[in-house]
Amino acid sequence: MAFIRTSRHLLHPDSGFTLPEHEVTPRGVYEDRRSLLKGLAGAASLAATGLLSHGEAHAQANNPSPSGLAPRPGKLAALPATRSTVPGAQAIDKLTPYSDVTTYNNFYEFGTGKSDPAVNAHTLKPRPWTLVVDGEVNKPQRLGLDDLLKLAPMEERIYRLRCVEGWSMVIPWVGYSLANLIKRAEPTGNAKYVEFVTLADAKQMPGVRSSVLDWPYVEGLRLDEAMHPLTLMAFGLYGEVLPNQNGAPLRLVVPWKYGFKSAKSIVRIRLIDKPNTPSWVKAAPQEYGYFSNVNPKVDHPRWSQATERRIGDGGFFTPKKPTLMFNGYEAQVGQLYAGMDLRKFF
């Protein structure tokens, strides 16, 4: 079971693990995925020609996805936002094309292949949706999506997303600081940590019938991390509501941590006095830690974290980029970890 649980890494070419895909995947599935990936590779290299400015990338996003898998930009509801003034939310890197952001995903509730969520997540129903905020709070909340969308002004924030597998993207998210939501519930003095619980409905999510993870997918943050202005409750990307495969209708984005901390399709936020056990820590405690801050000096037990491959940036022959401490957000979040041994507290 441990073998299957870590299969996302075994299947990923950047993981440094050399087992060929056809040895860990049933033949039919493997061949299907190969032909799908061929189409995606073409789309990605087309989209990656030249440097795009912010505006150009948005214009590009209005073209239909060449792969045909992503929802056509312009087809999802617009989610207007103003540019964020939160320090660190205006990354200068080139944006990852919409077609890559929405077809190269990790969302195991819809399968473990990178293109599975784009293919399968049409069964997710983002409306109606209810989010509960409870636990160590004075004012527990039960909020519908319309209330959540109105709770604070929507901001566009451009963040780097660094997956623990060694790839990264630059995504213009739309949302607001999670702190807005938590403050509304008035945490008690006992609230020290926050648990994020995501949807696990086999009727909508075929992947939860598999035992690849112990469902629901859960994550956790220390309360001060959750209250940091960069910690984003995201409702959209590229100016539109989130496509299902990116975690509709609301997800977390914690840009200085490995991508698995950014839980998708959240249904409950629980304030607690002790740390919970996040899904990947439970599945493979020898490989994943509670904090999981991006750190180029602390390697994954099976591969280096010193560099990363920027998705949509020219494919496997393009040199990898150096990974930055705290994913480039050290100036904003470094003080949260003052005095901590970052090797010990992975």
Binding site for ligand MTE (CB under 6 A): 105-109, 161, 163, 198, 217, 246, 259-260, 262-265
Nearer to ligand MTE, 47 or 136 (CB): 47
CA distance 151 to 178: 11
Pick 177 or 246: Cβ nearer ligand MTE: 246
The answer to whether 260 and 280 are in contact (CB under 8 A) is: yes
**CB-based contact 238:215 (threshold 8 Å):** no
Q: Which is nearer to ligand MTE, 14 or 186 (CB)?
A: 14
Q: Give the whole-angstrom CA distance, residue 25 versus residue 28.
A: 8
**52/101 with CB nearer ligand MTE:** 101
Distances (CA, A) of 330 to 87, 255, 323, 325, 346: 11, 11, 12, 6, 16
Using DSSP, how many helices (H) and how many strands (E) does the chain show?
Answer: 11, 13
For residue 20, give Cα distances in angstroms to 24, 27, 302, 310.
7, 12, 16, 22
Closest approach of ligand MTE to the CB of residue 139, in Å: 26
Q: How far is the CB of 227 from ligand MTE (least distance, A)?
A: 20
User: Residue 181: CA atoms inside 13 Å, Cβ hemisphere, count?
Assistant: 34
User: What distances in angstroms separate CA 342 from CA 278, 297, 303, 337, one per listed residue?
Assistant: 18, 9, 18, 8
Shorter beta-carbon distance to ligand MTE: residue 133 or 208: 208
Phi-psi region of 326 (alpha: psi -120 to 50; beta: other; left: phi over 0): left
Q: Least CB distance from residue 322 to ligand MTE, whole Å?
A: 19
Q: Three-state DSSP class for 254?
A: coil
Name the residue among 307, 285, 286 with its Cα closest to residue 296. Answer: 307
- Shortest Å distance, C-beta 338 to ligand MTE: 27
Closest CB to ligand MTE among residues 187, 255: 255
Q: Which residue's CB atom is positioned nearest to ligand MTE?
A: 259
Reduced to 3 states, what is the DSSP secondary structure of residue 182? Answer: helix
The minimum distance between CB 10 and ligand MTE, in angstroms, equals 14
Nearer to ligand MTE, 187 or 262 (CB): 262
Kindly state the smallest distance separating residue 122's Cβ from ligand MTE, in Å: 15
CB 16 within 8 A of CB 304: yes
Q: CB 161 → ligand MTE: shortest distance, Å?
A: 6
Compare residues 106 and 187 and give the one whose CB is closer to ligand MTE. Answer: 106
136 vs 295 by CB, closer to ligand MTE: 295
What is the number of residues in the chain?
A: 346
Q: How far is the CB of 126 from ligand MTE (least distance, A)?
A: 13
Phi, psi of 69 (to 5 degrees): -85, -40
Please say whether the beta carbons of 252 and 261 come within 8 A.
yes
CB of 190 to ligand MTE, least distance (A): 27
Interatomic CA distance for residues 268 and 270, integer angstroms: 6
